[in-house]
Each structure stands twice: as C-alpha cells, then as structure tokens.
Amino acid sequence: QHFLKEARLSHKPIGALEDAASQLRLLSSLSEEFQDRLLLSSLVDMEKWADAFDLLTRAWRSGDVAAMQEVITSSVRDYPQLKPLMIKLLDERNNAMTTKIERFLQTPKTYFVAVGAGHLVGDKGILSLLRRKKFIVEQL
C-alpha cells in the first residue's frame, strides 16, 4: 500500500504484473479437495503461519536471502501436499512475471516493480530467472 500511495501522490503511472482475476483463476483451478485441505491446514496451523510470516519479514528486512528461502521451503517440507500449490503460486507465476519484467527492462524507461518476498528467492525465483537471462541483479 505504501508504494501505491507514493506513486499516486507523485502522479506516476501504475501497472500490474498480474491482475486479481488471474489469481482467482489460479486458486479456482485447484481441486475442491485440495482447497479444503489447504483451508484446514491454514486454520489448524494459523499461529505457525503467523510465526513464519514474522520470520520472513525479518529476513527480508535484513536482506537474509537464505533465511527467506528457508521459511518458504519449510512449508513444503512440513506439508509435502502443498508442493503443487507452491508450483502454481510461485514457480508458474514467477515465470510469467519475469517475462513481463524482461519486457520492461528492454525499454529505456525506469520501472519500480514490487512483488511478494516469496517470489524473489530460490532457483525458480524471479531474481534467479533474470540472472539466467543474463540480467545483472544486485541486492541493495
């Protein structure tokens, strides 16, 4: 919300790497049984998910990529049944978002791109995908 507000106040154009409809299509593509299991595990482990979010936030703020990756992969390690979801939520979306970012980088314009922390790290994260396409990616 912060960056969106700043862009509006500065009269900067705002775009999106994906829209809400595509996210809803992705979630609705999961079987009802899988959606039920996901909801149940979320409710049962709500406190654990909150702790994981706190760890992820601290790791992101300190620039600790390894810790971010650990938090993200721990959910699949603890709940292997979530692997198909993680592939859809992260890997497939990362590929699509990277393609759009690559198009941005091929123009002379300057863009600010914000994505969730989970999309940044790992071998299939946006940063790795951009590096494989020979873009120089630096952590500030």
Mean pLDDT of 90-117: 93
Query: pLDDT of 7-24, one tens digit each?
Result: 999 988 888 899 889 888
CA nearest neighbour of 15 among 25, 4, 28: 4
Do 11 and 5 meet the contact criterion of CB atoms below 8 Å apart? no
CA 8 – CA 20 distance, rounded (Å): 20
Model pLDDT, residue 136: 92
Do 61 and 135 meet the contact criterion of CB atoms below 8 Å apart? no
